[in-house]
Structure 1
Amino acid sequence: MQISSADILAKTSSRIRSDRSWMRVLSLVSLLGVAACSSVPLEDTPTRARTPDFAVQPMKSFGATRPQPVQRSNGNIAADFLSLHFQLESGRELPVFTRFETPITVRVTGSPPPSLQPDLTRLLGRMRNEAGIDIRQITAGAANITIEAVSREEIGQALPQAACFVVPNVSSLSEFRRDRRKEKTNWGSLRNRERLGVFVPYDSSPQELRDCLHEELAQAIGPLNDLYRLPDSVFNDDNIHTVLTGFDMLVLRATYAPELRSGMTRAEVAAVLPDILGRLNPRGVTYPAQPVVATPREWIEAVQTALGPGTAYQSRVEAANRSARLAQSWGWTDHRRAFGHYMLGRMLQSGDSELAQRHFLTSMQMLNSSPETELHRAYVMTQIAAHSITVGDAAGALSQIRPMLPIAQRAENAALLATLMLLEAEALDLIGQSDKARDVRLDSVGWARYGFGSDWAVRAKMQEIAALNPRNRLGG
């Protein structure tokens, strides 16, 4: 018997009211969080996770990016462009359009780890080739954009909610600390972009550092806003996409179209956008325009509370439930409504796995209607496959995991790819294919090194997923 999303939310509300003892917010397979901050004792690591080959598996990297072409109307893209450029994440309106009006130089300072330079080189190459932006790296002297690699602790002290950030008219974190309350660092007062500082964490995983480079450098030269309504963009605080997409590159290319210049009003930009997008994205003319459904602050605040650090578990669950109820009441059927159920599934997983699965399946139903949500589906399916393994359904898990592997690969999401591969290895073990499971598990290590970082974080992820296997839990 199927249960409706309304019934699932009602059941979730009942569960929230009746059980106040759940304090674990992380799911068994935590994809959106950072690995635990304490190392895993070796004696607690399953034997398979300590193979002789583990230490010699090098960190892997992705090859050429294959962005998916934008699959919606230029009319909708124009509306997105205006919302991205003329509003801040807080909802504050910006009076004029801004961009760099000269060739852009980039310099790296601070303490960059080895992975930063190759990822930055690839990113700058994509910006030149896909977005047509005149941007290059320099090694000395003043730059238009300074990327300073600092510690996560320093970033947290500067902006507690941020993993990384960008500020106008500064070139160092010390300059930002000194001038943070001055008009020069106020985005609302900006009329032209000449000098910006991007601050990224040197002590995070290579993937998190790369993700920060993509979003913050893109916002340094392009739109400043994030929109939850975008299913295929890094300009979205759901953090599903981690590298610049085809949509993002189109927005950046349009940002530097010759018809635009800093100081133009929203009306002036809107007047020339149709011609710009018609030239840059002729296929967008063939798609019918869809109604633009704005995201109310009430829903955004519920999501931010649900995901925000420092919030009590009970408050997080209640906020996630509120976001799902609001989406339902407004009649949404897109990825935003699915996101509320996904959050609830992750939060409820350790206390009521069956209810969590109903939320995941409801989320998947919402996502199946759009070709732009394949990466969202990969995240949700990972949770569903993890549950299949816990109940011993290896065949079901393999059928769920394998279609998601190329999606994670195309999205250049090493953490997601490694997690899927580790799940695949456990499913193979369950059906007696231990040699093949070992090969898949070892192959995952190189991706895990990029996605999760240090050896202890990789081992922790391997142990976490191995614990899903009922044979391991039962000592078999």
Structure 2
Amino acid sequence: MRHWLFAAGLFLSACGGMPEAEVAMERPHWLVIDPLPQMKVFSDSAATRPQRPNAEIARDFLELTFQMESGRRLERFSRFEGPITVSMTGPVPATAEADLARLLTRLRHEARIDIHETEGPAAVSIEFVERRRMQALVPTAACFVVPRVTSFETYRRVRREAQVDWATLQEREQVAIFIPADTSPQEVRDCLHEELAQAIGPLNDLYRLSDSVFNDDNFHTVLTGFDMLILRATYAPELRSGMTRAEVAAVLPKLLARINPKGGRATAPAPEDPTPRPWIEAIEEALGPTGSDRRRHAAAVRALGIARAEGWQDARMGFSLFGFGRLGVADEMDLSVAAFIEAVRIYLTLPGGEIHTAHIDMQMAALALSSGQAPEAILLCNRAIPVASRAENAALLATLLMIRSEALRLSGHAAEARASRLDSLAWARYGFGDEAEVRSRMSEIAALTPSRPSLALAVTDNGDSG
């Protein structure tokens, strides 16, 4: 299940002094009114293989596979046996077909799974539903996956019955994924990656994983090399549906040595490293979509305190620091910057941590821009832009490009500013969706610039703003 967390979005309001964006088409108060260029999309790519020892990967596989996000244990291993078919129904967004095709190609090539799209009934049914209908049943979910149903209407009727209890599965035969039809192309793509991975593979998320979409921090938005390895192991011939945790643990060392020889030979999985429920509750309250600023800040302080008490130096500590910095920027600038810097230090030591540092660079660049430090903002953006591109995060990429554009404009580099601005708008169409949302998000960034007037500005033909 993909949750709504502030870490997944690009909210800059905590940087201070930013007006609330007006998104009504009838009376726009946008600072960005340029004609929108054609949407940019990502081309074919493959993730790098994980750079971690197989003993750790074995431990992660067991925790991802034999436990649910709620902490509930699963007694049996389950997967699809045989070829997997996938279909899409409902008001399918225009970009979904291409994004699903790319994903299925990666699953076939990288995870070695026999999976194909089909028309009509399929083992995995992806239904697009209005967001309001989805959130009426599951308010905190951006999208979700359910066993033994084929439609949203069926799920609505049986959602409290044992039929949709993952713990009762011995083998997967029918799964449905529900995704909002009225959301951005990137959110659709992200849901396809995470929910299809859980539909055919592990059901759990682990906050300590820095190189995986199986983590509710939502920093990674497409399946990583680690994720593909986990899915490849899930469908390895050494495993079969119905196996117990002990049976799977016994074969994992040889299995992983075969499919991931660079990870070394492990005699047994690494020791478990559970995340205490109070920390999970605190971080989700801090970065969730509800609650007052005061309560969220208190929750962030609580999460950071637990992380320090646990002695973590992994993604959980990094995320705790990120949350503290993110929620304390307006009132505690020095403490927030220090938290961001410490988080970067941790993330740079972790596999896959580059995208986390890019998010922090974006926050720091926004702070630099708002205080008129254009060279610093440009430096931070230039460092983060290639990372966001490799991670296929169009929303982050668009935000960085717009901050860079504003900083270049402040520095007197009009032509470069215009080019960065147009790139930003093209990626924003994929990352944020419809025109109102694109202009609203980009105007929030433009409003950070100290010299910006309150009236809407457009880029003129000579590349200058006027």
Name which of 148, 151, 155 aligns with 1:169. Answer: 148
Asked if residue 426 in structure 1 is aligned to residue 406 in structure 2, the reply is yes
Q: Quote the offset at 1:287 in angstroms.
A: 9.8
Give matches, 1:358-373, under 5 Å.
358-373=338-353
Name structure 1 gaps, 5 residues minimum: 1-24
Provide the C-alpha distance between the structure 2 equivalents of 1:390 and 1:291, rounded to a whole number of angstroms.
Answer: 46
Q: Structure 1 residue 41: deviation in Å? A: 6.8
1:318 alignment partner in structure 2: 298
Partner in structure 1 of residue 460 of structure 2: none
1:353 Cα deviation from its structure 2 partner: 3.4
Question: Could you list the per-position Cα deviations for residues 153-172 of structure 1 after superposition, in whole angstroms to 9, with x for gaps in the alignment?
Answer: 11101211111000000000
Alpha-carbon offset, residue 325 of structure 1: 0.7
1:264 is aligned to 2:247:
no
Report SS of the residue matched to 1:44. coil
Q: Structure 1 residue 124 and structure 2 residue 104: aligned? A: yes
User: Does 2:226 match 1:247?
Assistant: yes
Indicate if the aligned counterparts of 1:317 and 1:344 stay in contact, CA closer than 8 A.
Answer: yes
Name 2:326's counterpart in structure 1: 346
TM-score, normalisation: structure 1: 0.89
2:114 and 2:364 map into 1 onto residues whose CA distance is 44
> Who is 1:45 aligned against?
30
CA distance in 1, matches of 2:28, 2:97: 36
- Of 178, 202, 208, the residue aligned with 2:157 is 178
Residue matched to 1:448: 428
Change (3 A) 1:44 1:309: closer
CA contact (8 A) 1:28 1:465 kept: no
Q: Which moved more, 1:432-441 or 1:283-292?
A: 283-292
Contact kept, 8 Å, 1:200 with 1:212, in 2: the verdict is yes
8 Å Cα contact 1:328-1:337 kept in structure 2: yes
Distance of 2:25 and 2:444 partners within structure 1: 10
The alpha-carbon distance between structure 1 residues 421 and 41, as it changes in their structure 2 partners (threshold 3 A), is farther
Q: Note the alpha carbon deviations across 1:165-204, whole angstroms, 9 max, x for none.
A: 0000000011011111221110111111000110001101
How far residue 143 of structure 1 moved from its aligned partner, in angstroms, is 1.1
Match of 2:317 in 1: 337
Tell me the residue number matched to 2:89.
109
Distance apart, 1:257 and its partner CA: 0.4
2:193 counterpart of 1:214: yes
**Residues 292 and 471 from structure 1, CA distance in 2 versus in 1: closer, same or farther, beyond 3 angstroms?**
farther
Give me the whole-angstrom Cα distance separating, in 1, the residues matched to 2:278 and 2:154. Answer: 35
Is 2:277 aligned against 1:297?
yes
Alignment-mate amino acid for residue 13 of structure 2? L
Q: Is residue 424–residue 437 contact of structure 1 (8 Å, CA) maintained in 2?
A: yes
Residue in 2 aligned with 1:226? 205
> How far, CA to CA, are the matches of 2:361 and 2:410 in structure 1?
19
- The answer to which of 303-312 and 443-452 deviates more is 303-312
Deviation digits for residues 304-332 of structure 1 (CA, Å, limit 9, x no counterpart): 21123332322211111111111111111
Of the three residues 37, 48, 62, the one matched with 1:68 is 48
Query: Aligned partners of 2:115, 2:270: CA distance in 1, in Å?
Result: 34
Inter-partner Cα distance in structure 2 for 1:452 and 1:98: 36
Q: Evaluate the alpha carbon distance shift between residue 36 and residue 243 of structure 1 in structure 2; reply closer, same or farther with a 3 A threshold.
A: farther
Residue 13 of structure 1 is matched in structure 2 by none
1:402 aligns to what?
A: 382
Report the CA distance shift for 1:216/1:246 in structure 2 as closer, same or farther (over 3 A).
same
Paired residue type of 2:409: D
After TM superposition, give the deviation of residue 448 of structure 1 in Å. 0.3
Query: Deviations 1:27-60 (Å, cap 9, x if unpaired)?
Result: 3389xxxx978437766323xx223xx23x1111
Q: 1:216 and 1:36 mapped to 2: Cα distance?
A: 31
Residue 414 of structure 1 deviates from its aligned partner by 0.2
The CA RMSD over aligned residues, in Å, is 2.2
Report the CA distance between 1:26 and its aligned residue.
Answer: 5.0
Partner of 1:438: 418
Tell me which of 173, 179, 183 is aligned to 1:200. 179
Contact 1:169–1:196 at 8 Å: present in 2 too?
yes
2:41 aligned partner, one-letter code: S
Closer, same or farther: CA 37–135 of 1 in aligned 2, 3 Å: farther
CA–CA distance in 1 between the matches of 2:206 and 2:364? 27
Counterpart residue identity of residue 189, structure 1: T
Deviation at 1:348, TM superposition (A): 2.2
The 4+ residue runs of structure 1 with deviation greater than 4 A are 40-43, 286-292, 473-476
Using a 3 Å threshold, how does the CA distance of structure 1 residues 36 and 122 change in structure 2: closer, same or farther? farther
How many residue pairs end up in the alignment?
A: 442
User: Residues 303 and 320 of structure 1 are in contact (CA less than 8 Å); yes or no, is this contact kept in structure 2?
Assistant: yes
Give the distance between the partners of 2:194 and 2:282, measured in 1 at CA: 23
Q: 2:459: which partner in 1?
A: none
Amino acid at match of 2:379: S
The TM-score with structure 2 as length reference comes to: 0.90
Identical positions, percent: 49
Kindly provide the amino acid, as one letter, of the partner of residue 296 in structure 1: P
| Structure 1 residues 429 and 187, CA gap change in structure 2 (3 angstroms) | same
Change (3 A) 1:87 1:132: same
1:80 aligned partner = 60
Partner of 2:134: 155
Q: Which of 283, 294, 308 is the equivalent residue of 2:262? A: 283
Q: Which runs of 5+ in 2 are unaligned?
A: 1-9, 456-465
Higher helix proportion: 1
Query: Corresponding residue for 1:458?
Result: 438
